[in-house]
Structure 1
Amino acid sequence: MTVVRSGGFAGIERRAESDSASDPMLTRLVGRVDLTAVPPPGRIPDQFLYEIDIDGDRTTVGEAQLQGALRELVHHVLGRA
Structure 2
Amino acid sequence: MKVTVVRSGGFAGIEQRGQSDSATDPMLTRLVDRVDLASVPPPGRRPDQFLYEIDIDGDTATVGEAQLNGPLRELVHHVLGQGR
Q: TM-score, normalised by structure 1?
A: 0.98
Residue identity opposite 1:67 in structure 2 = N
1:17 maps to which residue?
19
d(CA) in 1 for partners of 2:5, 2:21: 12
May I ask how many residue pairs the two structures share in their alignment? 81
- List runs of 5+ in structure 1 lacking aligned partners: none
Residue identity opposite 1:54 in structure 2 = I
2:75 corresponds to 1:73: yes
1:54 maps to which residue?
56
- List runs of 5+ in structure 2 lacking aligned partners: none
Q: TM-score, normalised by structure 2?
A: 0.94
Query: What stretches of structure 1 move > 3 A for 4+ residues in a row?
Result: none
| Counterpart selection for 1:26 from 25, 28, 42 | 28
* 1:6 Cα deviation after fit: 0.0
Q: CA RMSD in A?
A: 0.5
Percent identity of the aligned residues?
A: 81
